[in-house]
Structure 1
């Protein structure tokens, strides 16, 4: 992807990789803008799992890419460069010879000072290429290993833990004053658990990870996680954690370019035919961010229980410029409403399910009944022919389930996938001509549905760049593993044209804007007619010095939705209009102290309903004393929204490897404090406390997540040891 939308999510954390290394020169405010831009379209996932992205940038921070001996595919893993910039780099080296210094990048027309500053921590210039192969002793001597342990717990007790007292001596009390069952009675407690009235496990969220790595050639390790409310070494979880993951990944063994065993990701083309792993909406204030650059096979180190392959994959280069990838996966998935029915004349009964369950929670008997209810087997491959300025690829993938997806068919979803298997075939290309990059992908599912992406990125001159992308996804396109550029949550039933512009007036002034116009030819969820809409954004950045950075942003969105007013028959379609206005400022008081201020206002209107408003203001203080074993981050925020529709998202500093972008809604205050200690050279400790205080509320959340009272807070602790 362009200019670091995905990579930006990992970049900020990657700069923390080694406490003994000086990382205070990194433009963290710019990185945080990229993180937030990526996550603002994720919905209500306040704790986003971006571990894989974090690992990619961490690896490159400790093992920089040699610009004199690299490829477009390797540079694309950074997510910070456009195809035009990469092509200009290779043209410069071909014409003038290898780079002598990193500062020589300033002489390349497509490389502006802002890009050079951002990419510099992850690249280097060497006269000779490092050997890809290494002996066993070399690997052992330079193997980097890391163990991370993390725990999180809520201070206030939730309804789901009413049968116990928490770590802080607190018990749940019903906000209405209703008496609770006597959970001290074993029979009552067993009844509560059997009837899904309480969680089966403890309130602690636990995480454990071990990873070993040698440069970019070898990676192996395992990850384990237990969510809040899940059992641990008892009951439904006799083996401890609810989720385990392990991987072995090897790169560059002669013509064998990659070997993946265990858990891995496979990403090809523009993501329209096959892409396993987390991906984001591509619209953000980084308006050139329209192309998703695939990484092929990657090790999987995250804890999302659905977005990965489990099996084996291999990439080989049988002849020069040609790469062939084959992969196979067998994974278990959670599913809803699994049913077994006898079919007349059939030797075996038919097993059906109504939908996929993707939250990964297994805290009650109901949730446990959905766990691993479905087996998915996937196999496929990709063939790519690559030259410096041209690339073409063909991808094919088949996924089969041991049960049949049988949805409750409604008018809006009648063309969506149903059945026990799907095959998708596609072709992609990238062509670089002078200062322009052209790219596209077309995919076809086995029912005949077609999906298409085609776009261009043009450097009009060194200061102005233009991005265009057209997409056309038929209503019956079944891309079960597709993450193509789309306004909707999935790439089907949509046509649109995106236009983005970036103007780098000077090193201090940068203006980004985009206009995206789209139509939905068929019905959608909560939309009982074909509709159209558009979205526009403009952002002006001013960075007069390395100490000061400000930007102002306006975003406008207009789409058709069903009315919320009482109607008989088919709901009327009304316009849903939202405006966001933001001012953001960052200031370095000194080398050790930084301040960040934000004010954001939201207006939301749906048809003739009253106008809703949202407001957020926060102040951050970041204190990182030079040559000190500690640093601290503080935030105080005030927010006021008249409805959930007018919520405001904001990135929060969190533990390394954790990315939090919660929605601020209601009326109240938010604050948190995070302390990082490095008592020993290879040992880091993080402590974080955060609280939400709501005005005029006697409860927070609902169901088993309900908290009695106006306050919700949590404590997080993490230890990392490197050796």
Structure 2
């Protein structure tokens, strides 16, 4: 019986990559709907990619480490530690007896975990670090094949650099004790090097772990993710999605930064130290230069009201704004962490080189002004049997407050539920907040969220959530208080290891100013509905297929409905132990305008962003090929093509391309030694 169970799990593991891609797809699509087209989502894929190669030792893991696996809920993590507190895991099959760990969860876990015991400190010697450390070098080249307007000889504004996008990354890891990385990157239109800043973007870190009481020490670039993201959070945060447990933030504390994103990190020194009796202190100091638009004041100084987060330095104006604002941030986080209780206090000070001012718009009335601000916060999570309570309260000194509190419960082996309340004051101010919310900033919002996951008979899973939100003050393009709601219902069906189908309905209603030229002053109701049907099936060990049909409806006020369509077919070729694998997509889309656009996850090269936006009318195809010519070398090639109907140009401004098609090539080489 034990052998049969093991064989069953091993067979399910063959689907783990597909399940991981499915999880990535849900997360990235949810993020992309509220992000700009140029945002980099590679942090999502990098996190799981790291643990696929460097397995988590379940004998020595921590809640923080397991939170990095995006598919584990807080209740599952707590159940795991409650079990190993009573008995030692002798076999991976024992996971089946832990409450909340079904076959699907275990199959997802298997590629990322091990029971092997590692003797960390006995091997921390320079000669072993050189001989057994893992090195990875990645080089990536990306280019649009047609010339954009900004690269032509134009008077005035134009792109000053070359049209290639390039990335070079080196990473080193020694048994989870030492980590180091260097990332160099340039975007299309930028110079690789310039006189002002040297390399356009250079990121690096050296990190040490598990050194006695010093649990983490990072020099260089790092991220801070604590609590529910109200007080202190950098990098991506995962919010509403079909997995309703994702609304509880998976805070991992201090971690080295390895992404090519140029805005969401700190730079300096940070550490996490065990003070004894389950008490941990994370302290940090950061010095950075940010991109900002400055204005000369009447006294000869400078003031600013806009920080650029795009990381783009292509034109003369973008060059002028590059690294013009000095930022210093320092503070600490004191936490008590046990198996079922985590309480933490956060305090930090942020100082800026120049004075923040606000624009004349009324919605900016409560925005931050000045050069200094201090924030404090208190967060908690507590597990009692099958109930997980969590929350955070934050206060910007001299200004407003923000709170979020939630409860998650396993009501039975088949039913789990989440209830969450949030209240963010109009004048709460923080540049380092990424908490759950409908707005782009963590302020001026109140809301209730409720969600259910229910395992139905016959291999069906039903996910449902409803989120009601209101904005007490004005917002951009909303000239009075407003409200709205979001509702999602999804049913998934799985048959063995070869077939999965999903039906999803989502509706979101908000309020917005009427369009220019309308004769009334009341807010318009803006409604967007999505209907999705998708299914995946595996033909054999070499081929699997994924199809999606999606319809979106957009309506503002009494104007006519916009109806958009997306239909695509993916074919994946991935034979076991082969040097070659590939996938291809053919898609047809038709959306009347940008308002009815549709997002769909796209397979990419390793650690590629995976975000695809479909707007307009046309055909989309792309092909990814991965080839391993030698044991330590992998080569990826990606070609993508958009063919639009009834257009003479694509894009706007300096990004404009003549003609009705846009194509891109991407080449990536990875060498591991």
TM-score for the superposition, normalised by structure 2: 0.95
Residue of structure 2 equivalent to 1:38: 27
Match runs of 1:113-512 below 5 Å: 113-126=103-116, 128=117, 130-132=119-121, 134-163=124-153, 192=155, 195-196=156-157, 198-233=158-193, 236=195, 239=198, 241-280=199-238, 282-336=239-293, 338-343=294-299, 349-505=300-456, 508-512=459-463
Q: Structure 1, residues 79-127: CA drift from partner, whole Å, max 9, x if none? A: 32222222222222233x111211111112222222212122112224x
Tell me by how many angstroms 1:62 deviates.
Answer: 2.4
- List per-residue Cα deviations over 1:134-177 (Å, max 9, x = no partner): 222332232000111111111111111124xxxxxxxxxxxxxx
Structure 2 CA distance for aligned equivalents of residues 288 and 483 of structure 1: 17
Deviation for aligned residue 1:643: 1.6
* Cα shift readout 1:267-302 (whole Å, capped 9, x = no counterpart): 21111111122224x111111211112111111111
Question: Are 2:567 and 1:607 aligned?
Answer: no
Give the secondary structure class of the aligned counterpart of 2:246: coil
SS at match of 1:704: helix
Corresponding residue number in structure 1 for 2:623: 673
CA contact (8 A) 1:46 1:660 kept: no
CA distance in 1, matches of 2:210, 2:366: 43
Deviations 1:314-358 (A, max 9, x none): 11112130000110000011012x122243xxxxx4320121111
Counterpart contact for 1:32–1:651, Cα < 8 Å? no
Partners of 1:458 and 1:599 lie apart in 2 by 34
Match of 1:27 in 2: 16
Q: Which residue, out of 657, 660, 671, partners 2:610?
A: 660
Q: Distance in 2 between matches of 1:227 and 1:558?
A: 36
**Structure 2 equivalent of residue 171 of structure 1:** none
Q: Separation in 2 of the partners of 1:558 and 1:148?
A: 43
Report if the CA contact (8 A) 2:529-2:553 is conserved.
yes
User: SS of 1:203's equivalent?
Assistant: coil
Counterpart pick for 1:524 among 451, 460, 475: 475
What is the match of residue 99 of structure 1?
89
Give per-residue Cα distances to partners, 1:506-541, cap 9 Å, x unaligned: 582211110111111111111111111111101111
Measure the CA separation in 2 of the matches of 1:285 and 1:590: 28
Work out whether 1:78 is the aligned partner of 2:69.
yes
Q: Mean alpha-carbon deviation: is it higher for 270-279 or for 146-155?
A: 270-279
- In structure 2, distance between residues paired with 1:92 and 1:506: 28
Shift of 1:56: 3.2
5+ residue gaps, structure 1, are 1-20, 164-180, 182-191, 344-348
Specify which of 634, 638, 641 is matched with residue 591 of structure 2.
641
- The equivalent residue for 2:3 is none
| 8 A contact 1:69–1:129 mirrored in 2 | no
SS of 1:334 mapped into structure 2: strand
Post-superposition shift, 1:24?
7.6
- Whole-Å Cα distance in 1 between the matches of residues 659 and 65 of structure 2? 51
Q: 1:518/1:422 Cα in 2 relative to 1: closer, same or farther (>3 Å)?
A: same
1:46–1:681 CA distance, 2 compared to 1 (3 A): farther
The answer to whether the Cα contact below 8 Å between 1:613 and 1:642 also exists between their aligned partners in 2 is: yes
- Once residues 660 and 110 of structure 1 are traced to their aligned partners in structure 2, the CA distance between those partners, rounded to angstroms, is 30
In 2, Cα distance between the equivalents of 1:32 and 1:564? 39
Provide closer, same or farther for how the CA distance between residues 458 and 494 of structure 1 changes in structure 2, counting only shifts above 3 A.
Answer: same
1:65 aligns with 2:56: yes
Structure 2 unpaired stretches of 5+: 1-9
> Cα deviation per residue 1:210-240 (whole Å; 9 max; x = unaligned)?
111112221112000111111235x65784x
- Does the C-alpha gap of structure 1 residues 81 and 626 become closer, same or farther in structure 2, counting only changes over 3 Å? closer
What is the root-mean-square deviation of aligned Cα atoms in Å?
Answer: 1.9
Aligned partners of 1:380 and 1:66: how far apart in 2?
32
Q: Within 2, Cα distance between the matches of 1:642 and 1:53?
A: 31
**CA offset digits 1:359-380 (Å, max 9, x no partner):** 1111111110110010110001
CA distance in 2, matches of 1:425, 1:115: 37
Query: Contact 1:620/1:634 (CA < 8 Å) preserved in 2?
Result: yes
Maintained 8 Å contact 1:397/1:423: yes
- Tell me what 2:655 maps to: 705
- 2:592 equivalent to 1:592: no
Does 628-637 or 688-697 show the bigger shift? 628-637
The TM-score with structure 1 as length reference comes to 0.88
Partner SS state of residue 245, structure 2: coil
Q: Matches of 1:50 and 1:611 in 2, distance apart?
A: 31
Q: Which secondary structure state, in structure 1, belongs to the residue aligned with residue 21 of structure 2?
A: helix
Q: Secondary structure at the match of 1:651?
A: coil
652, 667, 672: which is aligned to 1:717? 667
Give the CA deviation at 1:546. Answer: 0.7
Q: Give the total of aligned pairs.
A: 661
| Corresponding residue of 1:8 | none
Q: Helix, strand or coil for the counterpart of 2:555?
A: strand
- Name the structure 2 match of 1:173: none
Q: In the TM superposition, what whole-angstrom CA distance separates every residue of 1:29-60 from its partner, at most 9, and x where no partner exists?
A: 33233223222333354454244444432332
Residue matched to 1:561: 512
Cα deviation, residue 612, structure 1: 0.4
Does 130-139 or 387-396 show the bigger shift?
130-139
Q: Which stretch shifts more, 531-540 or 38-47?
A: 38-47
3-state SS, counterpart of residue 116 of structure 1: helix
1:447 Cα deviation (Å)? 2.3
Aligned to 2:4: none
SS of the residue 2:247 aligns to = coil
Asked whether the 8 Å contact 1:334–1:373 carries over to 2, the reply is: yes
Q: Secondary structure at the match of 1:117?
A: helix
User: How far did residue 567 of structure 1 move?
Assistant: 4.3
Contact 2:41 2:609 in 1 (8 A): yes
